[in-house]
Amino acid sequence: MDISIPTQVADQVSDRCLRCYREQQWYGENFLFDFIGDTNVTGKRILEIGCAEAGLLKFYQNKGAICSELELSDVRFNNALLLNEPNAFHLFQANICEPDSYSNEIIEKYDTIVIRDVIEHIENKTTALANIFNLLKPGGKLFVSFPPKYCAYAGHQQTVPTLLGKLPYLHVLPNFIYKAYLNLISCPVNKINYLISTKETRISIRQMRNLVKSIGYHVKKESKWLVRPAYSFRFGLPKMKNPFSWIPGLDEVFSNGVLYLLERPEI
């Protein structure tokens, strides 16, 4: 797949976001398409929630899908506009927890919706997942991925600039100790606020399983990974499922990523 980026565009986007854009396309081609199990998406309506640079659905568009992209962040939305051809797909800014923010943008329901590594940042997950349920066609599929609450980097502390801030399981400390440590290593205030916010909105595997079933989703796949598929792109590591996934507690602690393929049942 050609993921070359014009120099004049690359100069306006951070290196980190450019890597994310390339990873998003790689993830679709090398993992997600097969995981969902579609053989032909031509003419299928696909929505990604929290699309960031919109690289993932660029892959799906090239496969013939009719793609829509929803993004809340001003920075990531602007990146998506810069990195993709104008009007290549339906890109809009909205909040999945607030239907009024996207009701004018969505005309038809979707065959597939993707919310990848986003749900852990949403405070009201029940509202978000119920709204997504209503955007799916009967028989439509939802892909959800997230780092579970008690895994090594559920707090997203890998984003801390200094090495001492990237320690695994650091986020499980009580908040007052966590904040004091982050201040001690000179972590920026805005980063500390982000890390505390992320800690407060985490979700466990069991909480997610109970939540999606209460809304009415049918669980088609639940997949727990020690080495997440995306790590093959980021670090060149072979993906590996959690060998302890069948042991209560250890599935939560050693699953660095959990993937769900859900379905809205047929009427």
pTM of this prediction?
Answer: 0.94
Q: pLDDT by residue (tens digit) across 102-131?
A: 999 998 999 999 999 999 999 999 999 999
Distance (Å, rounded) from C-alpha 207 to C-alpha 218?
15
Task: Write the pLDDT tens digit of every residue in 94-103.
Answer: 999 999 999 9
Give the pLDDT score at 105.
96
CATH superfamily placement of domain 7-150+202-263: Vaccinia Virus protein VP39 (3.40.50.150)
Closest by Cα among 96, 174, 84, 194 to 136: 96
| pLDDT band at 10; cut points 50, 70, 90 | confident
Confidence band for 154, pLDDT divided at 50, 70 and 90: very high
Cα–Cα distance for residue pair 253/47, rounded to 1 Å: 31
Return d(Cα 132, Cα 96) in angstroms, integer: 8
Provide φ and ψ at 20, rounded to 5°. Answer: -60, -40
Mean per-residue pLDDT of the chain: 94
Sorted by where each begins, the domain ranges of the chain are: 7-150+202-263, 157-198
What is residue 87's predicted lDDT score, i.e. its pLDDT?
Answer: 78
